[in-house]
Copies of this chain bind each other. A is one copy, B any other.
Amino acid sequence: MHCLRYALTAPGDICQILLSMSRSSAIITIGNEILLGRTLNTNLAWLASELALAGVPVTYAIVVQDQREQILQALQDTWGKYDIVITTGGLGPTPDDITKASIAEYFGKELQFDPDVWDNVQMLFSRRNMPAPESNRSQALVPAGFTALHNELGTAPGLCHQEGKRVFFALQGVPTEMRHIYTRHIQPMLPALYPEARRITQKTLHSFGISESALAELFYVSDISPQVNLAWLPQTGRVDLRFYGEDEPAVKQAVRSACEKIGHLIWGEDDDTPADALYRCLKDKGLSLAVAESCTGGLIQAYLTEVAGISDVFRGGVVAYHNDVKTGLLDVTSEVVIREGAVCGEVARQMAIGVRQALNSDVSIAITGIAGPAGGSPEKPVGLVWFAYCVYDKVFVEKAVFNGDRAGIRHKAAEMAILKLTRLLKEGTL
């Protein structure tokens, strides 16, 4: 079967392409709180992802203390060896922020007062109706010959120093400021600086309701250009397909041809969440939704209401944790609860019907299950979840058993419920 090679393609393959590129970056993270395990190094992950797409992947990263000797050593280990060297952190005005002084020392430059930076500091303080403290004057010191990168979000500017094709940047440790400086100042200069850099185009499609192998039988390698790489990324209840390569038109063409062939199995792309997909689908069809939750305890509705604008389609719901709430607000019959327990298909069915009626919605989701860690039995193990979906007066009921801990079971069940209703609506099954 000629799709097998692709079905076996490890997502690691993109690594090999990226990390064999001619240009490369190094990141120096400066911060005691990372070395003490207080803070996750999200700046590294974000910068690494951006630089990989720009064709200048990070091939080396160091984390050092807020300490002169370690910063000097890190600069020595990287500057001249990588095309781009970036430090993050330690640019603030307090005494433990020694990054700027250490950089000036390493490059043998004096710190000079930059009036434009000081203007920005004063402007930021005046917005808060405060005079800029004199201690903040240090923010306006810039190593001679370095460019200060204007920071709209904070008082510390980014710093840039270029020698031929090699560039050094000092960025803030605060993630929003760091991203702002990268996006505004660094990203735009890279194409001109490295015109030969092999920029990667990538697009991820999210599929549902089909296994990796079944999907691979519908969508063949031969359907896409050899210029395009495809990684299959299976997750619980869904498979993601990531298309990537250096040839942007070829990647776009591959995505289009995938959408033509298996578009009915695709619910979203890139950063779409399941809730985004259901929102779009309900809005397209002009349908309103209500939700009844037991084991997920509000999580489905919390995911849905992350979407700004969901009030167009989402009426609300009931968290029926105690059985009295199932029978009282949702008209579940006590007989079935007594006979079969709260976790069964019939209770899910009655919850879905009940919440649709109580909230006067077009469609509904209901869920009841055992999230654990207690409450399981041989017949009804932890992880057993019953789902029911109404579209007007038609009802669809099914069950699933999830692995994992309480949080994992709840998350997977909530996500599956949202995707399943989306699929039922798209397919017009109900």
Contacts of A37 in B (CB 8 A): 44-50, 52, 58
Is the pair B324, A360 in contact by a Cβ cutoff of 8 Å?
Answer: yes
Contacts of A410 in B (CB 8 A): 305-306
Say which one of A13-21, A103-111, A132-140 lies at the interface with B: A13-21
Is the pair B329, A359 in contact by a Cβ cutoff of 8 Å?
Answer: yes
Kindly state whether residue A259 has any CB partner on chain B within 8 Å.
no
Q: Could you tell me the distance between the alpha carbons of A21 and B291 in the complex, rounded to whole angstroms?
A: 55
B-facing residues in A34-59 (Cβ within 8 Å)? 34-42, 44-50, 52, 57-59
Kindly state whether residue A319 has any CB partner on chain B within 8 Å.
yes
Kindly state whether residue A218 has any CB partner on chain B within 8 Å.
no
Known pairs A18-B36, A321-B316, A324-B315; A298 contacts B308 (CB<8 A)? no
Known pairs A40-B40, A41-B40, A42-B40; A35 contacts B62 (CB<8 A)? no
Contacts of A48 in B (CB 8 A): 34-37
Is the pair A319, B317 in contact by a Cβ cutoff of 8 Å?
Answer: yes
Contacts of A418 in B (CB 8 A): none
Kindly state whether residue A299 has any CB partner on chain B within 8 Å.
yes
Contacts of A34 in B (CB 8 A): 44-45, 48, 61
Contacts of A300 in B (CB 8 A): 298
Q: Could you tell me the distance between the alpha carbons of A360 and B329 in the complex, rounded to whole angstroms?
A: 11
Kindly state whether residue A286 has any CB partner on chain B within 8 Å.
no
Kindly state whether residue A32 has any CB partner on chain B within 8 Å.
yes
Is the pair A291, B319 in contact by a Cβ cutoff of 8 Å?
Answer: yes
Kindly state whether residue A91 has any CB partner on chain B within 8 Å.
no
Is the pair A306, B407 in contact by a Cβ cutoff of 8 Å?
Answer: yes
Give the size category of A's interface with B: 35 or more
Is the pair A297, B308 in contact by a Cβ cutoff of 8 Å?
Answer: no
Nearest CB of chain B from residue A356's CB, rounded to whole Å: 12
Known pairs A315-B324, A316-B318, A329-B359; A36 contacts B15 (CB<8 A)? yes
Contacts of A401 in B (CB 8 A): none
Known pairs A39-B45, A306-B406; A319 contacts B321 (CB<8 A)? no
Nearest CB of chain B from residue A187's CB, rounded to whole Å: 14
Nearest CB of chain B from residue A88's CB, rounded to whole Å: 13
Kindly state whether residue A70 has any CB partner on chain B within 8 Å.
yes
Is the pair A305, B297 in contact by a Cβ cutoff of 8 Å?
Answer: yes
Residues of A within 8 A of B (CB): 10, 12, 14-15, 18-19, 32-42, 44-50, 52, 57-67, 70, 77, 94, 96, 291, 293, 296-302, 304-306, 308-311, 314-322, 324-325, 328-329, 358-360, 371-374, 406-407, 410
- Apart from the given pairs A19-B65, A298-B304, 11 other A-B contacts in the complex at a CB distance below 8 Å: A10-B94, A34-B45, A35-B57, A36-B48, A41-B45, A298-B317, A299-B305, A301-B301, A305-B321, A317-B319, A318-B329
